[in-house]
Structure formats: structure tokens, C-alpha cells
Amino acid sequence: MPRLLHALCATAALAAALPAVAAAESVADFYSGKTITIAIGTESGGAYDLYSRFFGQYASKHIPGHPTFIYQYMPGSGGVKVANYLYNAAPKDGTVIGMMEQGTPLARVLRKDPGMKFDLGKFNWIGTMAQSYYIIAVWHTSPATTIQEAQKKQVLLAASGKGSTTYIYPALVNYIAGTKFKVILGYKGAPDMDLSYERGETNGRGGTMTAWNIRQRAKIDSGQIKFLVQIAPKRNPLWPDVPMLSDFAKTDEARKIVEFMAAPSLVGTSLAAPPGLPADRVAALRKAFDETLKDPQLLAEVKKRKVYVTGEPGTELQDAMVKLAATPQALVEKVRDTIGIK
């Protein structure tokens, strides 16, 4: 009996200790020998792919345990597919993070779509690789090559789906500036859209400054691509002569709408992790993000490629997403009515 009692007590003590041992696993212990997958909400070859790889290439040495990185492309519904995956299906342990499209958070607020199964404020936002201004541009053969001409002539713009910025922002510009953009849906991503206007199927598209700069810099410099208007909280220092949409907002209500719609430029090329991650891993990923964006090797690489990083911290982005999710319903409904989103 004493031996049995001793054995039972020892077993109970061990069982009680197991959770404490598991909970005491350090971030370095967890990540040692593991792989982090970056799920990207677009096709390969664009700005989101490039910035995801910038992070993956240089972040390993800044994350305790030094995990390796792989990349998974999940295009669909303007970034909704990858957002749903991160929120509902991805492991909630820090082995999967993602980069959705810049316009996905805005679409989540604006659209009454039961297929969007995620809460913006509950993601663990890691940080913004680069803030991005949104610009609508056309091919040089377009019937209109300035926004003033687009107020008089129909311009066909390529877009993916109604949840993407390639649809939302042209509709907004039509309302605010009186342009005659006609959006053609169904293109898979930026490479497909670029081919569409070069083939003459469309006249142009909307896109982030980052994407334009990476994909089409030579054609911009040659004058083959013309910028019509930019939607952002402030003027783009690289293209200061491109008109701001806010220049066309003539009433207080219009100005509030433009301000609200320009806010997601903070999202840019941002990384997010699923909800429910252990707090120490979230903190470690955010710290690693901040350190990676200051890494001399990364900075040399982006300089060589003539792109840029801004490196907004995850805590700032988290606050912005919580605020965006809590946008007053009256303003949301007005914007929905304005640009025809249901």
C-alpha cells in the first residue's frame, strides 16, 4: 500500500507538472527546426510576392530558433481567400503567417459578404513592409490619358473581383471625380491585367504604387503608362504631379469618404498572423519584423532593386485595423451607396 500510494502521488505530480513544462517552452525552442509558411493572397511575381520574400529571406536570423521560410500562393476574391484561411484554417501556433491584398481590410468593412469569415481586429498584425499609395493608370493608347479626359471619355479598367481595390477604387473615383471608368472583372492578378491593356482588351487598371514601381517601372519611365489619379492620405513623393482624388472632393461629405477610403494605404504590404497565437510568439514575430526592416542586407537589397520599405510596426497596424473595423455604420452605408457595393 505505501508503494502504491507513493506511485500514485508521483504520477499525479508528473501530470500536474506537464502543462507547466509545455507552457515553459521558449520561443526559440518552439521555432528550432521548424518552417514558417507565408501565405500570399496573389499570384507569384508581383509586389506582395516580392515583399513576402524580402521578409522571409532576412527574418530567420532575427527570430529565436531561426526557422526557415516557404511561400504558398492563394489568390482569390481580392485577397479574401487567404484572409479566410489565416483566420479559420491555418495553424494558430506561429508556423503560418500571411500577406493579404491591401484592399482586403477595406472590403471587409464595406461588403455584406457572408463569404468573408474573419474579423480584422482579431488578426495578430505583425507589421507593414511598405505603405502604399493607390494609383489608377492607363496604357498610352487609352482614349483618355488624364483624369480630365476620363471625365469625358469611357475608359475600360481591368479588375479581379468586386472585393478588390481594382474594382472599389475606380467606382469611388467615378463618384468623386465624375470619371467614366468601366470596370471589367475576371482577371486573376496584376500580370493578367497588365497583359489585358497591352493587348487592347482594356485601357488600364488600378494598383498600388509599390506594384507599379516593381512591375512596370521601365514602361512608366518611357511614357507608355500614364498615371491619372492617386488615392492616399498624402501626396506620393515619387509622383508629386499626379492629381489627388481629394482634389476633386468638393463637399465635407465627399472629403470624409475620400479620407476613409484612403486610410488603408497604411496596410500596404503587411504581414498578419492568425488569431489565437501565444502572446510571446506574437511579440517575437513583431520584434523580428522591426529588426528585419533595419537589416543592412535587406536595405542593400531594396536599394539595388529600386524599391522601398517603410516598416510600420505591428502594434500601430493593429490599432489601425481595430479602428477600421469600428468605422461608424452611417459612414459605411454612405460609402456603400456611393460606389454601389452590397
Per-residue pLDDT of the chain (342 residues; tens, 9 = 90+): 455 445 445 444 544 444 444 456 899 999 999 999 999 998 898 889 999 999 999 999 999 999 999 999 999 877 899 999 999 999 999 999 999 988 888 889 988 888 999 999 999 999 999 887 889 999 999 999 999 999 999 999 999 888 788 998 999 999 999 999 999 999 988 889 999 999 999 999 998 887 788 778 899 999 999 999 999 888 877 788 999 999 999 999 999 899 888 877 778 899 999 999 999 999 999 999 999 999 999 999 988 887 878 888 999 999 989 988 998 899 999 888 887 776
Domains and CATH numbers, the chain: 27-131+267-339 (3.40.190.150), 134-264 (3.40.190.10)
Three-state DSSP class for residue 99 = strand
Residue bearing cell 502594434:
315
Long-range Cβ contact pairs of 25-31 (< 8 A, separation 24 or more)? 26/64, 27/63, 27/64, 27/65, 27/280, 27/281, 27/284, 28/64, 28/65, 29/65, 30/65, 30/93, 30/94, 30/281, 31/63, 31/64, 31/65, 31/66, 31/67, 31/94
pLDDT of residue 266: 78
The Cα 195–Cα 18 span in angstroms is 58
pLDDT at 3: 53
Give CA separation, 49 vs 39, 101, 195, in Å: 10, 11, 19
Q: What is the pLDDT, as a whole number, of residue 265?
A: 78
> Given this model, what pLDDT does residue 7 score?
47
Residues 6+ apart with CB under 8 A from 289: 55, 59, 126, 127, 271, 311, 313, 314
For residue 215, what is its C-alpha cell?
Answer: 512591375
| Separation between Cα atoms, residue 89 and residue 314, nearest integer Å | 22
Q: What is the pLDDT of residue 239?
A: 82
Q: Do residues 272 and 129 make contact, with C-beta atoms less than 8 angstroms apart?
A: no
Cell match 507538472: residue?
17
Helix locations, the chain, DSSP H = 2-23, 27-31, 47-59, 80-84, 104-110, 147-150, 165-177, 190-198, 209-222, 252-262, 279-292, 296-305, 314-325, 329-339
Q: What is the pLDDT of residue 307?
A: 80
Say how far apart CA 252 and CA 203 lie, in whole Å: 32
* Residue 184 buriedness (CB in 10 A; 0-12 / 13-18 / 19+): middle
Long-range contacts of 255-261 (CB under 8 A, 24+ apart): 256/331, 257/172, 257/175, 257/176, 257/331, 257/334, 257/335, 257/338, 258/172, 258/176, 258/231, 259/233, 260/327, 260/331, 260/335, 261/106, 261/168, 261/169, 261/172, 261/231, 261/335
